[in-house]
Amino acid sequence: MTDPGSYTARERLRDGRTVDIRALHRDDRDDMLAAVGRTSGASLQRRFFGIKRGFSEAETAFFMDIDFEKHVALVALLDEGGRPTIVGGGRYVLVRDGEAELAFLVIDAYQGKGIGRLLIKHLIAIANTKGLHALTAEVLPENAAMLRLFRDFDFKAVPQRDFSAVHLVRELG
């Protein structure tokens, strides 16, 4: 596999449209923030476990300063008005040696078209080439669609003391 920082793939959505999955670039900042702005409060709450309408400079720096070793981020781009536009994104962040936490967000207008599935597929592929042993995710219990998607990729629920989120794990390798 090439360097994840230059990662790019072209895929087809369920509706036949072509979507580009590629590494998040530093110059994607405005487009990424615009995508968040186009996402409903409910979707943002499911992603951030609270309503999030803006980010501090420190939070923005965290989301944009990707090293593609400990923090890998991909975006999904579709043509909107003749311009490639970010409609979703996914990332994993190392939480300990060999294990990373996975999260992603797809703007509402594009949910249910297979973008999340593609982001997970590509992030798992990168994690495997990086030699990670496991990916984890935290999902709100009421987010049935996301729980189903993670289970489709063999993520298993792990019992936790905190019932505010479902902790999921997928072994790699």
Q: How many helices (H) and strands (E) would you count in the chain? A: 5, 8
Residues 6 or more apart in contact with residue 26 via CB below 8 angstroms: 64
- Region 94-117: mean pLDDT is 93
If one counts every other C-beta atom within 10 angstroms of the C-beta of residue 123, the result is 25
Name 142's bridge partners.
Answer: none
The answer to whether the CB of 95 falls within 8 A of the CB of 132 is no
How far apart CA 132 and CA 69 sit, in angstroms, is 11
pLDDT of residue 118: 97
Q: Using alpha carbons only, what angle is made at residue 21 by residues 20 and 25, rounded to the nearest 5 degrees?
A: 105
The answer, yes or no, to whether residue 14 has pLDDT greater than 80, is yes
The answer, yes or no, to whether residue 61 has pLDDT greater than 90, is no
What token pair was written down for 116? 């999340």
The architecture in CATH of the region 4-171 reads: 3-Layer(aba) Sandwich (3.40)
Q: What is the pLDDT of residues 110-163, one digit of tens each?
A: 999 999 999 999 999 999 999 999 999 999 888 898 899 999 999 999 987 777
If one counts every other C-beta atom within 10 angstroms of the C-beta of residue 122, the result is 22
Q: What is the pLDDT of residues 16-49, one digit of tens each?
A: 999 999 999 989 988 988 887 777 766 666 666 5
Domain layout of the chain by residue ranges: 4-171
